[in-house]
């Protein structure tokens, strides 16, 4: 049995005007990316990507997008995303944050990344109300230690699984 | 005092000999284009199948025979597959259906000068042979 | 991705050899004699007029050739073997057969019959052969030495072959060429014609086509191949660039206009070059290698007599559908048997033999360009498979159907 290997790309949409678009849905992102692929790689690229391409998750507030693609053609997708200029009819650019083999590891990266961003925002805060809000959010996120533990546990599980077959 | 040099295995360029054909009432006609028009037709075909990346390929139109419609193209060997596939998919010129028939592909331009498959030793009045007699 | 596919592209080799003196020339002639089936021969002479070339190289390629439909049992006929195969006065090649899709046959003057068969025919025939060395092709090669001791009527192998040929009824349109030997009392042409007539074989004689061209304004690169740069890969006017330029001339490509930044074509004539005239003579047909050697000898005389001619180029094209290329090396389609010989005189090398340089492209490397066609198929698999069958024409049906069969 052959497994279909895939890659997950964690991407971020940044609109030109710096605002968020609440009407952003996964289907609009899907169609815009596909159109960009067709533009850069033609019918052939479209055919290659279409088979396995999926938009797994879109967060309209942070502009974060999870995209699944087959392992053979993810480079094509990556290149095409660079040439993407418009999503939902608005000027934007797309930025690839992370490439991973599983959606889980993508998510872990996203947590880390968000934490970094929140810390940055914390430093830029001007009013105490904003500060309180962000520090509350930071507390809700899993701490560095718990993430480390989880990682160790996962590795232990994997090792055990390997040993026991 | 003799010496021998072997050229690199991978040649830099590939050469294609083809004709643009058009079918009208069961007879095959050859479309003769100017070199510039032909180049834009090929670039469009590349763009259709391989997008902007394909359109960026350098294709040299070396020859466009006026009488027989014979075309010789040159392309970098890494782009040969893209060009060849686009020529296969090419299906219309100015709205009229046509096809590109690739006769020979070779890494050496010189091998395109003789085509033993199209040659007939005795005079045969066929479509194929008439075309080659012209050239 | 394209790069990955191209890695499967077949091996081929282009060899530049440099020879000096009489020994070198003989070496060169010997290898030409081993290339039995020549489709076309061309001579390019710079700063030479059409008329002069015609006068100096004439009455070559006059041997008799004909197209006859012959079954293989007729070739195994003892009378035919005794009369023609044994003295080595005939060579034959199947015509109109395609090496990638159908059965092909070749009869060498050395008395060896080469068959390149599809799997179906091979299995029906029941003679032992070898699988074709070309990858991706389900073909089998059979080699029968018609002059061997064990290949006589009433011997086991002969009977077996005869039975097989009768059963399968293999029939080819053969191109026959009669080679006249000087010690023959009767010209082999008449012998062959008489034989065909007496056995009721329909044949059609044909003559070789000639084409004489003159280029009045041509940019001719200046080469000096006693200097090493000609053979170096990095130098601008090296052998490869010069070979390409020669290709331009014989294909009728005008490379004088194009610049390196042109929209249409970026191919330009290698530098340094100077304008001049040139004459090109091309013969097409079923040419025998003895006559090719004759041309080379005549060309050598031209060089000796005319000091204004800097070099001469002799090009030889093989048949693309011949099962054999050099000696008894296998040949696949997309492998062009292409040869080129260049010669010039240099005063300091005694001025008599000079040096000759010969370039071989697509030599006896065991490879098949079919692999390349395959790569392309895979490359556009998703959208083009069905389209390709309709547009590619008869030649390419084979890889296509086999691909879908896999």
Contact C359, C18 (CB under 8 A): no
Give the range with max mean pLDDT: A30-44, C149-163, C227-241, C263-277.
A30-44
Q: Give the CA distances from residue A25 to residues A29, A106, A110, C361, in Å, rounded to whole numbers and listed in that order.
A: 7, 20, 19, 59
How would you write the pLDDT of chain B (135 residues) with one tens digit per residue? 456 666 665 678 889 999 999 888 888 888 888 889 999 999 999 999 999 999 999 999 988 888 888 999 999 989 999 999 999 999 888 888 999 998 888 888 888 887 777 887 776 544 443 333 333
Residues of C in contact with A44 (CB under 8 A): 379-380, 382-383
pLDDT-above-70 percentage for chain C = 66
Nearest CB partner across the interface for A40, out of B46, B53, B85:
B53
Between CA C81 and CA C93, with CA C87 as vertex, the angle to 5 degrees is 65
Residues of A in contact with C379 (CB under 8 A): 44
Residue C346 has pLDDT above 60, yes or no: no
Q: What's the pLDDT at C82?
A: 84
* DSSP designation for C330: B
Q: What's the pLDDT at A55?
A: 93
Distant-in-sequence, close-in-space partners of C338: CB < 8 Å, separation ≥ 6: B108, B110, B111, C315, C316, C317, C318, C360, C361, C362
Say whether both C291 and C328 belong to one domain: yes
For the segment C273-281, the average pLDDT, to the nearest whole number, is 85
Burial code (b: 16+ CB inside 10 Å, e: under 16) for A14-29 equals ebeeeeebeebebebb
Residue C7 has pLDDT above 90, yes or no: no
Q: What's the pLDDT at C353?
A: 31
Residue C400 located in a structural domain: no
Residue pairs between chains A and C whose CB atoms are closer than 8 Å: 9
Contact C319, C337 (CB under 8 A): yes
Is C312 exposed, middle or buried (CB count within 10 Å of its CB: 0-12, 13-18, 19+)? buried
- Cβ distance of C380 and A48 shorter than 8 Å: no
Mutate to test the interface with C, among B1, B4, B5, B89 (most CBs of C within 10 A): B5
Q: What's the pLDDT at C356?
A: 39
Q: What's the pLDDT at C84?
A: 83
Q: 274-303 in C: which are within 8 Å (CB) of B?
A: 284-286
| Short-list C283, C273, C308, C275, CA closest to C48 | C308
For the segment A92-104, the average pLDDT, to the nearest whole number, is 91
Q: Give the separation between CA C174 and CA C103, rounded to whole angstroms.
A: 12
**Residue B83, domain extent:** 13-108
Number of domains in chain C: 2
Residues of B in contact with A34 (CB under 8 A): none
Query: C177 - beta bridge partners?
Result: C65, C91
| Short-list C153, C165, C157, C72, CA closest to C122 | C165
Residue C398 has pLDDT above 50, yes or no: no
Contact C40, C210 (CB under 8 A): no
In tens, the pLDDT along C115-151 reads: 888 888 888 888 888 887 766 668 888 888 888 888 8
Q: What's the pLDDT at C405?
A: 32
Chain B: give the shortest CA distance to residue A132, in Å.
50
Please tell me if residue A152 touches chain B, with a CB cutoff of 8 Å. Answer: no
Examine the fold and report which residue of C152, C185, C206 is the final residue of a domain before the chain moves on: C206
Please tell me if residue A83 touches chain B, with a CB cutoff of 8 Å. Answer: yes
Say whether both C289 and C319 belong to one domain: yes
Residue C378's pLDDT band, with cuts at 50, 70 and 90, is very low
Please tell me if residue C3 touches chain A, with a CB cutoff of 8 Å. Answer: no
Residues counted in chain A: 165
Mutate to test the interface with C, among B48, B109, B126 (most CBs of C within 10 A): B109
Q: Give, for A100, the enclosing helix (H) or strand (E).
A: strand A90-100
Residue A58's pLDDT band, with cuts at 50, 70 and 90, is very high
Which DSSP string corresponds to C161-190? HHHHHHHHT-EEEEEEEEPPPTT-SS-HHH
Residue B70's CB is within 10 A of a number of other CB atoms, namely 23
Q: Give, for C216, the enclosing helix (H) or strand (E).
A: strand C209-221
Q: Give, for A164, the enclosing helix (H) or strand (E).
A: helix A144-164
Q: Give the separation between CA C289 and CA C220, rounded to whole angstroms.
A: 29
Residue C376 has pLDDT above 70, yes or no: no
- Cβ distance of C380 and B89 shorter than 8 Å: yes
Q: What's the pLDDT at C4?
A: 37
- Cβ distance of C391 and B99 shorter than 8 Å: yes
How far apart are the two ends of chain A, measured CA to CA in Å? 18
Q: What's the pLDDT at B104?
A: 84
* Lowest-pLDDT range of A64-78, B71-85, C247-261: C247-261
For the segment A96-112, the average pLDDT, to the nearest whole number, is 90
| Short-list C4, C2, C11, CA closest to C369 | C11
For the segment C95-124, the average pLDDT, to the nearest whole number, is 86
Please state the domain extents for chain A: 6-101, 103-143
In tens, the pLDDT along C165-204 reads: 888 888 888 888 887 766 555 677 788 888 888 888 888 8
Which DSSP string corresponds to B76-119? EGGGHHHHHHHHHH--EETTEE-EEEEEEEESSGGGGG--TTS-
* Residue B78 belongs to domain with CATH number: 3.30.70.3250
Q: Give the separation between CA C215 and CA C268, rounded to whole angstroms.
A: 17
- Cβ distance of B39 and C244 shorter than 8 Å: no
Query: C116 - beta bridge partners?
Result: C104, C141
- Cβ distance of B51 and A83 shorter than 8 Å: no
Chain B: give the shortest CA distance to residue A81, in Å.
13
Fold of A6-101: Alpha-Beta Plaits (3.30.70)
Q: Give the separation between CA C219 and CA C233, rounded to whole angstroms.
A: 22
C109: three-class secondary structure by DSSP: coil
In tens, the pLDDT along C16-26 reads: 666 666 676 77
Give the range with max mean pLDDT: C97-101, C135-139, C343-347, C381-385.
C97-101
Residue C394's pLDDT band, with cuts at 50, 70 and 90, is very low
**Cα C50 to chain center, whole Å?**
25
Residue C123's CB is within 10 A of a number of other CB atoms, namely 11
Q: Give the separation between CA C140 and CA C120, rounded to whole angstroms.
A: 10
Q: What's the pLDDT at A69?
A: 92
Distant-in-sequence, close-in-space partners of B103: CB < 8 Å, separation ≥ 6: B17, B18, B19, B115, B118
Query: C124 - beta bridge partners?
Result: none
Residue C405 located in a structural domain: no
Average pLDDT score, chain C: 70
- Cβ distance of A42 and B50 shorter than 8 Å: yes
**Residue C314, domain extent:** 10-61+209-355
Closest chain C residue by Cα to residue A47: C382
Number of domains in chain B: 1
CA dihedral B101, B103, B105, B110 (to 10 degrees): -140
Residue A143 has pLDDT above 80, yes or no: no
Chain B: give the shortest CA distance to residue A44, in Å.
6
Q: 332-391 in C: which are within 8 Å (CB) of A?
A: 379-380, 382-383
Residue C245's pLDDT band, with cuts at 50, 70 and 90, is confident
For the segment A151-158, the average pLDDT, to the nearest whole number, is 78
Q: What's the pLDDT at C363?
A: 32
Residues of B in contact with A43 (CB under 8 A): 48-50, 89
Between CA B36 and CA B42, with CA B39 as vertex, the angle to 5 degrees is 155
| Short-list C340, C342, C332, CA closest to C303 | C342
Q: Give the separation between CA C171 and CA A90, rounded to whole angstroms.
A: 71
Please tell me if residue A67 touches chain C, with a CB cutoff of 8 Å. Answer: no
Mutate to test the interface with A, among B51, B54, B91 (most CBs of A within 10 A): B51
Residue A9 has pLDDT above 90, yes or no: yes
Chain C: give the shortest CA distance to residue B110, in Å.
4
Structure tokens, B59? 């294709």
Give, to the nearest 10 degrees, the angle between helix C397-405 and helix C370-379: 60
Residue C349's pLDDT band, with cuts at 50, 70 and 90, is very low
- Cβ distance of C380 and B88 shorter than 8 Å: yes
C211: three-class secondary structure by DSSP: strand
Q: 30-69 in C: which are within 8 Å (CB) of B?
A: 39-40, 42, 65, 67
Q: Which chains touch C (3 or more CB pairs under 8 A)?
A: A, B
Residues of A in contact with C5 (CB under 8 A): none
Mutate to test the interface with A, among C1, C5, C376, C387 (most CBs of A within 10 A): C1
Mutate to test the interface with C, among A38, A40, A47, A78 (most CBs of C within 10 A): A47
Outline where C155-262 has alpha helix (H).
Answer: 156-168, 188-198, 239-251
ipTM of the assembly?
0.82
Please tell me if residue A42 touches chain C, with a CB cutoff of 8 Å. Answer: no
**Cα A112 to chain center, whole Å?**
12
Residue B133's CB is within 10 A of a number of other CB atoms, namely 13
Q: What's the pLDDT at C384?
A: 26
Contact C320, B116 (CB under 8 A): yes
**Cα C363 to chain center, whole Å?**
10
């Amino acid at each position: 049995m052959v497994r279909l290997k895939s890659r997950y790309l964690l991407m971020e949409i940044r609109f030109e005007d710096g605002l968020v678009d609440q009407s952003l849905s996964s289907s609009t992102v899907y169609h815009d990316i596909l159109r960009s692929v067709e533009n850069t790689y033609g019918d052939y690229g479209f055919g290659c990507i279409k088979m396995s391409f999926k938009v797994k998750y879109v967060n309209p507030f942070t502009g974060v997008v999870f995209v699944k693609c087959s392992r053979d053609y993810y480079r094509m997708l990556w290149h095409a995303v660079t040439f993407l200029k418009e999503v939902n009819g608005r000027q934007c650019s797309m930025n690839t944050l992370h490439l991973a083999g599983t959606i889980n590891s993508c998510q872990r990266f996203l947590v880390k990344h968000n934490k970094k961003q929140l810390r940055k925002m914390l430093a830029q805060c001007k009013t105490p109300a904003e500060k309180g809000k962000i520090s509350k959010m930071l507390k809700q996120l899993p701490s560095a230690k718990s993430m480390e533990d989880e990682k160790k546990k996962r590795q232990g599980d994997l090792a055990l699984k390997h040993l026991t077959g | 005092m003799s010496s021998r040099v072997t050229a690199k295995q991978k040649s830099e360029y590939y050469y294609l000999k083809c004709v643009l054909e058009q079918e009208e009432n069961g007879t095959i006609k050859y479309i003769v284009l100017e070199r510039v028009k032909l180049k834009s037709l090929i670039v469009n075909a590349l763009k259709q199948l391989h997008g902007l990346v394909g359109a960026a390929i350098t294709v040299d139109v070396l020859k466009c025979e006026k009488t027989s419609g014979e075309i010789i193209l040159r392309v970098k060997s890494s782009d040969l597959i893209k060009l060849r596939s686009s020529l296969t998919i090419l299906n219309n010129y100015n709205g009229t259906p046509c096809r590109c028939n690739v006769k020979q592909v070779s890494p050496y331009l010189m091998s395109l000068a003789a085509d033993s498959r199209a040659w007939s030793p005795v005079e045969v009045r066929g479509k194929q042979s008439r075309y080659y007699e012209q050239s | 991705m394209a790069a990955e596919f191209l890695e499967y592209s077949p091996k081929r080799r282009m060899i530049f050899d440099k020879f000096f003196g009489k020994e070198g020339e003989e070496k060169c002639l010997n290898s030409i004699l081993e290339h039995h089936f020549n489709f076309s021969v061309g001579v390019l002479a710079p700063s030479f007029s059409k008329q002069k070339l015609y006068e100096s190289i004439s009455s070559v390629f006059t041997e008799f050739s004909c197209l006859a439909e012959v079954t293989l049992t007729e070739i195994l006929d003892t009378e035919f073997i005794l009369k023609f195969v044994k003295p080595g006065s005939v060579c034959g090649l199947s015509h109109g057969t395609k090496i990638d899709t159908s059965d092909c046959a070749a009869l060498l003057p050395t008395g060896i019959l080469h068959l390149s068969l599809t799997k179906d025919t091979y299995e029906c025939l029941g003679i032992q052969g070898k699988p074709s060395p070309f990858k991706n092709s389900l073909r089998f090669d059979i080699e029968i030495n018609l002059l061997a001791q064990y290949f006589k009527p009433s011997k086991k192998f002969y009977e077996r072959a005869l039975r097989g040929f009768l059963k399968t009824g293999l029939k080819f349109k053969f191109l026959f060429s009669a080679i006249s030997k000087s010690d023959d009392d009767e010209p082999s042409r008449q012998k062959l014609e008489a034989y065909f007539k007496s056995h009721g074989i329909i044949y059609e004689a044909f003559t070789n086509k000639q084409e004489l061209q003159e280029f009045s304004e041509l940019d001719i690169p200046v080469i000096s191949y006693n200097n090493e740069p000609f053979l170096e890969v990095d130098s601008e006017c090296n052998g490869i660039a010069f070979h390409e330029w020669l290709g331009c001339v014989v294909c009728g490509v005008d490379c004088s206009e194009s610049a390196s930044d042109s929209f249409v074509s970026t191919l330009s004539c290698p530098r340094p070059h100077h304008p001049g005239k040139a004459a090109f003579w091309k013969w097409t047909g079923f040419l025998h290698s003895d006559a090719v050697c004759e041309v080379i000898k005549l060309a050598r005389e031209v060089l000796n007599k005319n000091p204004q001619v800097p070099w001469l180029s002799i090009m030889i094209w093989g048949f693309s559908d011949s099962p054999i290329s050099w000696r008894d090396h296998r040949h696949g389609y997309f492998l062009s048997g292409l040869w080129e010989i260049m010669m010039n005189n240099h005063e300091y090398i005694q001025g008599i033999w000079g040096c000759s340089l010969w370039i071989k492209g697509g030599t006896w490397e065991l490879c098949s360009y079919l692999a390349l066609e395959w790569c392309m198929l895979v490359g556009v698999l998703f959208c083009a498979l069905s389209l390709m069958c309709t547009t590619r024409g008869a030649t390419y049906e084979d890889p296509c159907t086999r691909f879908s069969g896999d």
